[in-house]
Amino acid sequence: MLQNAPIGIFDSGYGGLTVFRAIADRLPAYDYIYLGDNARSPYGDQPFDVIYKYTLECVDWLFSQGCELIILACNTASAKALRTIQERDLPLKYPNKRVLGVIRPTAEIIGGFTESKSVGIMGTRGTVNSGSYLLEIQKFFPELNVFQQSCPMWVPLIENNEYLQPGADFFVEEYCSALLAQDEAIDCVLLACTHYPLLLPKLENFFPSNIKILSQGSIVANSLADYLARHPEMEKRLSKTREKKFYTSGDLSSFNQHGSHFFGELITSNKVILD
């Protein structure tokens, strides 16, 4: 075990805190550093080169803090930047370190949640346009019909703390209706953006009760537990003092206040200056 080798968790803003919550509950022994790039979020509508540049800067920063393993708890970054980082940057700069995403673990299990074989994916424009879910789900469940809906207004509503206000109902209805209009057999909806679980009360209200709504927190947490069990060489390197640190490129007091809703406990964040 190294002295300071936390697991890094990254998101463009607050959303990854929903994944971090589930990971910290499932794997409490480890040390963690969370980085939210709030100053530059949302990432969802940015072009590939920008998302890749931002994500790589955050990955570099987390590695500079001693992380051995990083979870990109952001679908947009996982869809747009993960493969290049894994295939190009890690072998060159960090051959013994690892970066994992959230799309593959979700694609691996989604088939178990549908009877009609028709599933809906709700995500940012970046995630939807990347086609990453279509590609990954096809590998594991070629028999599934997958329908996608981008929800560009949801992250801004959530980042600005407006997600439980009546004004949010309009955009919940707009995107959910558009998804269901694509196929009436949809019986499983994946929230393929780590911000979206904050909208769960409104989504549960909107969707008929036969539709399962999947959030990614526990899926990613279980997949990480499985990864660590299969990679003892990585597991042994991780430090285990139960420390949790929070960093943001944005405003500290907003992050502490707003982030605490996502994480489900009070948090105190530190500032990071990214390029």
Total of residues contacting ligand DGL (CB under 6 A): 17
Instruction: Examine the residue annotation and report whether 193 is marked as an active-site residue of this protein.
Output: yes
Closest CA to 108 of 215, 9, 223: 223
Measured between alpha carbons, how far is 76 from 176 in angstroms, rounded to an integer?
A: 20
Figure out which of the listed residues 9, 10, 12, 63 binds ligand DGL, where binding follows CB under 6 A. 12
Figure out which of the listed residues 15, 101, 120, 217 binds ligand DGL, where binding follows CB under 6 A. 15
Site mask, ligand DGL, residues 193-222, x = CB under 6 A?
A: xxx---------------------------
Instruction: Examine the residue annotation and report whether 74 is marked as an active-site residue of this protein.
Output: yes
Figure out which of the listed residues 38, 62, 67, 76 binds ligand DGL, where binding follows CB under 6 A. 76
Figure out which of the listed residues 36, 44, 101, 105 binds ligand DGL, where binding follows CB under 6 A. 44
Closest CA to 74 of 119, 38, 108: 38
Which amino acid appears at position 270 of this protein? Answer: N
Q: Which residues pair with 146 in a beta bridge?
A: 119
Which residue among the candidates 58, 176, 188, 193 is catalytic per the annotation?
Answer: 193
Site mask, ligand DGL, residues 84-123, x = CB under 6 A?
A: ----------------------------------------
- Residue 159: enclosing H or E segment and its boundaries? helix 154-159
Figure out which of the listed residues 55, 114, 127, 239 binds ligand DGL, where binding follows CB under 6 A. 127
Q: For residues 46 and 269, which CB has a smaller minimum distance to ligand DGL in the complex? A: 46
In whole angstroms, how close is the CB of 208 to ligand DGL at the nearest point?
25
Measured between alpha carbons, how far is 248 from 116 in angstroms, rounded to an integer?
A: 42
Site mask, ligand DGL, residues 157-196, x = CB under 6 A?
A: ------------------------------------xxx-
Only segment of 12-20, 25-33, 174-182, 218-226 that touches ligand DGL (CB under 6 A): 12-20
Q: What is the largest CA-CA distance in the chain?
A: 54
Q: Which residue has the tokens 């799309």?
A: 103
Contact 59, 94 (CB under 8 A): no
Contact 256, 245 (CB under 8 A): no
Q: For residues 20 and 238, which CB has a smaller minimum distance to ligand DGL in the complex? A: 20
Which residue among the candidates 74, 151, 176, 188 is catalytic per the annotation?
Answer: 74
The phi and psi torsions of 215 (rounded to 5 degrees) equal -105, 160
Measured between alpha carbons, how far is 44 from 47 in angstroms, rounded to an integer?
A: 9
In whole angstroms, how close is the CB of 161 to ligand DGL at the nearest point?
15
Q: Is the peptide bond before 95 cis (omega within 30 degrees of 0)?
A: no
DSSP character at residue 87: I
Collapsing DSSP to helix, strand or coil, 7 comes out as: strand
Closest CA to 273 of 251, 240, 249: 249
Residue nearest to ligand DGL (CB): 44
Binding site residues, ligand DGL, CB under 6 A = 11-13, 15, 41-44, 74-76, 124, 127, 155, 193-195
- Tell me the catalytic residues: 74, 193
